[in-house]
């Protein structure tokens, strides 16, 4: 026997560790969002513009955050065996501290200040690259394949929401005349260093047994060639790189707003903030869908929306309404956020578990060179665009940059056609999900069901799914029914009787025929809402099942499904039933089968099978429930048990609308108070003999009269007297001639 201490654990985390780690990871992303909002590219861009940076230098800044990926060729070998989270912490803390070097710009000339900015931002991005290389492995470590997309979206939401706070702080801070110029921007950077340092501390709280592993004899080129040969990896990787290119080119929008449109720094920051609001909105909207809908059709739609947004930038001119720019920024952020969520999901999902670091290192390494190319190309196009804008007044100096971005987006659309996804769905079907309220309700319900643990809320969500006619809802319900014993499976089976779904009949038949299924009786019950030869076969077979609950449910379901039953056979089964629950089921089946004459003839015989007042009340209440007369006899018994005379008084309030009860209400009340049960039965029997009845009720009345006379030969009790009064009232209620 191996002790718990001696058990070897793998690098995979337990559910508790994943939960604890995810909380710390989300806190890291939250503080990091504020910090990066104050240290981000926009602030560095504006600082560089203060000192007169050229377009090529701006292109370098735009690409630099990705350019330093070349370090990853050395990173695994230098840090091999080091704790993954500890390396992440050191890199992230260091990247914030180097930002303090920006303050040196106050001590040198403007031209030298540009080089200080470029050098400091290069160091910042180099350390950031080390951390970013570990970001996706940490995400995968804190999730399972079924929750990876949700974890990614949660992290992005935490990051983007707080980045908006950082951008808002920047806007408010820079709106003051006292904070204009380089000193205001440097003060923001100082705040970013503080938030970045706090964020780093949360990384130390993430449980982890993983260590940095080098790729051994693998080389970046070898991993790259392997990825390009594998279609499942090739297309997500290419999309990631092109998405990177369009993002770098969009970085020139800051220069366009500042130089081309002449906006002040605080409004440039406000515009940037709206793009992050769009990113957050995309996170909220995509969160329910990223793990449920296929990426390909969503990417095609998103790329189709991104093309016109790039074209708008290409034709922006001075004097453009700032409100329109804010709308443009939000739309661009939303589309970019959607693309990032689904490209990231397909990319991480494609990485082999045992080589995720090697693939991530390769992707980031190649990214560095592509980023430099995109950045320099953007700068060159911006320089070329100055002359183009001079000759074509409807363009701006950055029009060629955004035209190139439009081409890249179109290429992305073509490449996305090759993305492989197990969740197959075409664009037309995808539009159906979003345009159909039923489909959308089902999709959101499935997501909420997975993300909440509150039983009351889950029950409400299940109710909503049961009332939804979408095939998506049916698939979610069938998934729940595959659970071997959950309470929710039982709830779903109960609801299927009220709201049957034909598509689920095969699953219900399977469960109803499985002797070892814990909720088999509920599956039999649900079959009462269906018809078909297989339904009848399963139900008739279940009538002779060893389980009394299954036998009783089968009897009720046969009647409810409209199949004929033999009342004498049900009576025989009632007499031999070993438990009360089964007996009640047979009584309900007789009532539902409209075998009322048979039922009324033996109404007191049923109650004599067992001793005790509660058994008699149970039998009479079950028959009342099957007949459906109001008020239900069970409710009257409940009133009577809470205080003698209360149930009788309530009954008489309803019954006095019939002449016999109206005339003799005092006599009835007195006999009940004096416990003269025989007098009650004699009075009912006399009334039965004296009333006329139509053809449909006459046989039932005669059967009830025979049962009363037979009971009077014995010793009736209180429950018998109340039952006699109640069922006489029920017969009058069904006989139009007595109304």
Per DSSP, the residues of 140-184 read: HHT--TTTHHHHHHHHHHHHHHHHHHHHHHHHHHHTSGGG-SHHH
Confidence of residue 6 (pLDDT cuts 50, 70, 90): very low
How far apart CA 327 and CA 303 sit, in angstroms, is 18
Range from 376-380, 422-426, 584-588 carrying the lowest mean pLDDT: 422-426
Please check whether residue 668 is in contact with residue 660, taking contact to mean a CB–CB distance below 8 angstroms. Answer: no
Q: In this predicted structure, what is the pLDDT of residue 7?
A: 45
Radius of gyration of the chain (CA): 38
Q: In this predicted structure, what is the pLDDT of residue 511?
A: 94
Give the helix, strand, coil percentages of the chain, each rounded to 5.
80, 0, 20
Give Cβ neighbours of residue 18 (< 8 Å, ≥ 6 apart). 142, 143, 144
How far apart CA 592 and CA 27 sit, in angstroms, is 59
Whether residue 58 has pLDDT greater than 90 = no
Entry field: residues in the chain: 739
Whether residue 350 has pLDDT greater than 80 = no
Give the residues across from 211 on adjacent strands.
83
Whether residue 495 has pLDDT greater than 80 = yes
Q: Give a yes or no: residue 20 inside a domain.
A: yes
Q: In this predicted structure, what is the pLDDT of residue 699?
A: 85
314: left (phi over 0), alpha (psi -120 to 50) or beta: alpha
How far apart CA 443 and CA 426 sit, in angstroms, is 16
DSSP assignment letter at 528: G
What's the mean pLDDT in 261-283?
86
Q: Give a yes or no: residue 137 inside a domain.
A: yes
Q: In this predicted structure, what is the pLDDT of residue 4?
A: 41
Whether residue 73 has pLDDT greater than 70 = no
Q: Give a yes or no: residue 9 inside a domain.
A: no
Confidence of residue 318 (pLDDT cuts 50, 70, 90): confident
Two tokens, residue 499? 């709201």
Q: Give a yes or no: residue 173 inside a domain.
A: yes
What's the mean pLDDT in 727-736?
82
Q: Which helix (H) or strand (E) holds 377?
A: helix 356-391
Number of domains in the chain: 2
Task: Provide the whole-model pTM.
Answer: 0.62
What's the mean pLDDT in 592-601?
87
**Residue 589: how many CA atoms within 13 Å on its side-chain side?**
31
Rounded to the nearest integer, the mean pLDDT of the chain is: 85
SS3 at position 547? coil
Q: In this predicted structure, what is the pLDDT of residue 224?
A: 82
Range from 261-270, 320-329, 526-535 carrying the lowest mean pLDDT: 261-270
How far apart CA 180 and CA 269 sit, in angstroms, is 13
Q: Give a yes or no: residue 375 inside a domain.
A: yes
Per-residue HEC secondary structure of 223-272 comes to: HHHHHHHCHHHHHHHHHHHHHHHHHHHHCHHHHHHHHHCCCCHHHHHHHH
End-of-domain residue from the set 338, 359, 380: 380
Q: In this predicted structure, what is the pLDDT of residue 610?
A: 93
What's the mean pLDDT in 700-715?
91
Q: In this predicted structure, what is the pLDDT of residue 5?
A: 43
Q: Higher model confidence: residue 589 or residue 177?
A: 589
What's the mean pLDDT in 326-332?
92
Give Cβ neighbours of residue 506 (< 8 Å, ≥ 6 apart). none
Q: In this predicted structure, what is the pLDDT of residue 65?
A: 73
Q: Give a yes or no: residue 368 inside a domain.
A: yes
Q: Higher model confidence: residue 225 or residue 705?
A: 705
Q: Give a yes or no: residue 495 inside a domain.
A: no
Q: pLDDT over 90 for what percent of the chain? A: 37
**Residue 390: how many CA atoms within 13 Å on its side-chain side?**
6
Confidence of residue 129 (pLDDT cuts 50, 70, 90): confident
Please check whether residue 551 is in contact with residue 523, taking contact to mean a CB–CB distance below 8 angstroms. Answer: no
Give Cβ neighbours of residue 330 (< 8 Å, ≥ 6 apart). 274, 275, 277, 278, 281
Give the residues across from 83 on adjacent strands.
211
End-of-domain residue from the set 351, 380, 409: 380
- Residue found under tokens 């009360």: 580
Give Cβ neighbours of residue 527 (< 8 Å, ≥ 6 apart). 508, 509, 512, 535, 538, 539, 557, 561
Please check whether residue 334 is in contact with residue 278, taking contact to mean a CB–CB distance below 8 angstroms. Answer: yes
- Residue-wise pLDDT for 610-645, tens only, equals 999 999 999 999 988 888 777 888 888 999 888 888
Range of the domain at 36: 15-227+245-286+321-380
SS3 at position 83? strand
DSSP assignment letter at 13: P
Q: Higher model confidence: residue 135 or residue 32?
A: 32
Q: Higher model confidence: residue 310 or residue 260?
A: 310
What's the mean pLDDT in 659-675?
92
Whether residue 74 has pLDDT greater than 70 = no
Note if the bond before 631 is cis, omega within 30 degrees.
yes
Confidence of residue 354 (pLDDT cuts 50, 70, 90): low
How far apart CA 212 and CA 133 sit, in angstroms, is 11
Q: Higher model confidence: residue 295 or residue 500?
A: 500
What's the mean pLDDT in 391-399?
88
Of the chain, the end-to-end C-alpha distance in Å amounts to: 80
What's the mean pLDDT in 467-476?
83
Q: Give a yes or no: residue 572 inside a domain.
A: no
End-of-domain residue from the set 335, 359, 380: 380
**Nearest residue to 560 via CA among 586, 535, 598, 589:** 589
CATH number for the domain including 59?
1.20.1250.20
Whether residue 103 has pLDDT greater than 80 = yes
Whether residue 694 has pLDDT greater than 80 = no
């Amino acid at each position: 026997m191996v002790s718990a201490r001696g058990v070897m654990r793998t690098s995979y985390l337990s559910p508790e560790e994943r939960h604890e780690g995810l909380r710390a990871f989300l806190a890291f992303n939250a503080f990091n969002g504020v910090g990066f909002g104050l240290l981000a590219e926009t602030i560095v861009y504006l600082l560089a513009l203060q000192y007169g940076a050229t377009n090529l230098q701006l292109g370098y800044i735009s690409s630099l955050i990705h350019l330093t990926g070349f370090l990853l060729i050395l990173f695994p070998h230098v840090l091999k065996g080091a704790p993954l989270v500890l390396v992440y912490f050191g890199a992230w803390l260091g990247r914030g501290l180097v930002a303090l070097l920006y303050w040196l710009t106050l001590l040198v000339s403007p031209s030298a200040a540009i080089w200080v900015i470029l050098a400091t931002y290069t160091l910042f991005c180099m350390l950031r690259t080390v951390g970013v290389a570990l970001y996706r492995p940490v995400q995968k470590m804190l999730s399972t394949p079924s929750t990876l997309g949700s974890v990614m979206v949660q992290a992005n939401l935490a990051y983007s929401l707080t980045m908006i706070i950082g951008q808002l702080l920047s806007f408010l801070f820079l709106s003051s005349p006292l904070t204009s110029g380089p000193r205001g921007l440097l003060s923001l950077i100082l705040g970013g260093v503080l938030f970045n340092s706090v964020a780093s501390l949360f990384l130390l709280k993430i449980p982890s047994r993983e260590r940095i592993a080098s790729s051994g004899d693998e080389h970046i080129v070898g991993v790259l060639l392997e990825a390009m040969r594998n279609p499942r990896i090739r297309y997500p990787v290419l999309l990631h790189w092109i998405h990177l290119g369009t993002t770098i080119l969009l970085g020139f929008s800051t220069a366009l707003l500042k130089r081309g449109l002449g906006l002040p720094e605080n409004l440039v920051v406000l515009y940037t903030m709206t793009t992050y609001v769009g990113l957050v909105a995309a996170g909220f909207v995509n969160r329910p869908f990223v793990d449920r809908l296929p990426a390909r059709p969503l990417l095609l739609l998103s790329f189709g929306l991104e093309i016109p947004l790039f074209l708008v930038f290409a034709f922006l001119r001075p004097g453009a309404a700032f409100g329109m720019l804010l709308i443009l920024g939000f739309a661009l952020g939303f589309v970019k956020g959607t693309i990032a969520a689904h490209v990231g999901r397909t990319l991480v999902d494609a990485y082999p578990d045992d080589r995720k670091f090697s693939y991530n290192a390769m992707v980031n390494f190649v990214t560095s060179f592509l980023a430099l190319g995109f950045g320099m190309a953007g700068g060159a196009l911006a320089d070329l665009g100055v002359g183009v804008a001079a000759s074509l007044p409807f363009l701006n100096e950055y029009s060629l940059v955004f035209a190139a971005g439009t081409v890249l987006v179109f290429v992305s659309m073509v490449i996305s056609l090759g993305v492989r996804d197990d969740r197959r769905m075409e664009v037309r079907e995808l539009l159906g999900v979003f345009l159909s309220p039923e489909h959308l309700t089902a999709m959101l319900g499935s997501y909420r069901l997975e993300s909440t643990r509150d039983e009351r809320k889950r029950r409400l969500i299940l109710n909503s799914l049961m009332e939804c006619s979408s095939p998506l809802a049916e698939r979610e319900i069938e998934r729940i029914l595959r659970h071997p014993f959950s309470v929710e499976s039982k709830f779903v089976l109960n609801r299927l009787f009220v709201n049957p779904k034909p598509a689920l009949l095969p699953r219900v038949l399977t469960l109803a025929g499985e002797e070892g299924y814990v909720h088999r009786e509920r599956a039999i019950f649900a079959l009462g809402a269906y018809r078909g030869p297989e339904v009848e076969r399963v139900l008739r077979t279940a009538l002779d099942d060893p389980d009394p609950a299954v036998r009783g449910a089968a009897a009720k379901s046969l009647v409810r499904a409209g199949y004929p039953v033999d009342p004498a056979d049900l009576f025989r089964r009632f007499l031999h039933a070993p438990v009360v629950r089964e007996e009640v089921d047979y009584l309900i089946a007789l009532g539902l089968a409209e075998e009322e004459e048979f039922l009324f003839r033996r109404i007191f015989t049923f109650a004599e099978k067992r001793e005790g007042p509660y058994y008699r009340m149970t039998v009479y209440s079950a028959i009342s429930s099957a007949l459906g007369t109001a008020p239900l006899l069970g409710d009257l018994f409940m009133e009577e048990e809470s205080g003698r005379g209360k149930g009788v008084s309530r009954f008489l309030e309803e019954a006095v609308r019939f002449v016999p009860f109206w005339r003799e209400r005092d006599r009835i009340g007195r006999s009940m108070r004096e416990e003269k049960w025989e007098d009650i039965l004699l009075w009912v029997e006399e009334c039965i003999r004296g009333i006329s009845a139509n053809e449909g009720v006459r046989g039932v009345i005669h059967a009830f009269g025979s049962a009363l006379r037979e009971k009077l030969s014995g010793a009736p009790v209180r429950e018998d007297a109340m039952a006699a009064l109640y069922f006489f009232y029920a017969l009058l209620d069904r006989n139009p001639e007595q109304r």
